[in-house]
Amino acid sequence: MKKKFQKGFTLVELMIVVAIIGILAAIAIPNFIRFQARSKQAEAKNSLKAIFTGQKSRFAEKDRYSAQTGEIGFAPERGNRYLYDLGPVPAVGAAGAPGSCAAGDMELRNVAIAVPGTGGCGIQADEFRYGAQFAFGALADMAGAGAVTVNSTLNGLTPTAISVTAVGVDGLCPLCAFSAMARGNIDNDVGDDAFLVSSEFLTVGVAACAEASQNDNPGTPVNVRNDVSCD
């Protein structure tokens, strides 16, 4: 009685299959990482749009913008990957000057129950959930983030240059403008992701890692440093 032999794969055929799988993985994995990062960036875009809406509502009622989250009704849920900075709180009756919300003025989210900041001008990323790498310092620590120019000519303001280290209310309201920043770590490396929103038209200046942007409409979140493209 003859034995029937089943033909299998040769070593060469197996090596070819492995090589094809490796090529497909090399193409698919970076695209998947970028797609995943895009989904995380949706948080910053939605939150900055909420800040813009709150600022416009505040201005319609009080003829001024605010650098305090409570006054514009901005209170993102826990689990936020991004830090939100509305800038320094102007003195009563004084013109605002762009800067950065101090760490002590931000709401801290490094414990189970959030701790309000003194000035209320920002909200830290949820360090309690994601870890210490989300405990950002000053925005000035973010090197190579580029510059954003605010074109304020449409409402009679003096054109002002605002970088990602300087946000907030600019000028004496009602002739004033505002900008706010979102900064986060979306791919768990040493770099950060940064978005900016403003009441004015925005144009990204010298910023190799920013998404190309020219004259974005007021209220449109602009990515001034892309965490995936930059590092």
Cα 67 from Cα 113, distance rounded (Å): 23
Name the residue with tokens 């002739």: 175
Q: Does 147 or 111 have the greater pLDDT score?
A: 111
pLDDT of residue 120: 93
| pLDDT tens figures, 55-107 | 999 999 999 999 999 999 999 999 999 999 999 998 888 888 888 888 889 99
- Which region among 92-96, 102-106, 131-135, 193-197 has the lowest average model confidence (pLDDT)? 131-135
CA 62 vs. chain centroid, Å, equals 28
Which uninterrupted H or E stretch holds 28? helix 11-62
Q: Range with the lowest mean pLDDT among 32-41, 51-60, 70-79, 204-213?
A: 204-213
Q: What is the pLDDT of residue 77?
A: 93
Q: Do residues 186 and 226 lie in contact, with contact meaning Cβ atoms separated by under 8 Å?
A: no
Position 156 scores a pLDDT of: 45
Mean pLDDT of the chain: 80
Angle at CA of residue 103, ends 101 and 108, nearest 5°:
110
pTM over 0.85: no
pLDDT of residue 149: 66
Question: Could you give the CA distance from residue 25 to residue 31 in angstroms, rounded to a whole number?
Answer: 10
Could you count the other beta carbons within 10 Å of the beta carbon of residue 97?
Answer: 14
Structure confidence at residue 205 as a pLDDT band (50, 70, 90): low
44 pLDDT band (50/70/90 cuts)?
A: very high
Query: Model confidence over 142-190: pLDDT tens digits?
Result: 555 556 666 554 444 555 667 666 888 988 888 888 999 998 888 766 6
Average pLDDT over residues 119-147: 72
Q: Any idea of the CA torsion for 67, 131, 140, 169, to the nearest 10 degrees?
A: -10
pLDDT confidence of residue 153: 46
Strands 106-107 and 122-123: parallel
**Are the C-beta atoms of 160 and 152 separated by less than 8 Å?**
yes
pLDDT over 90, % of the chain: 31
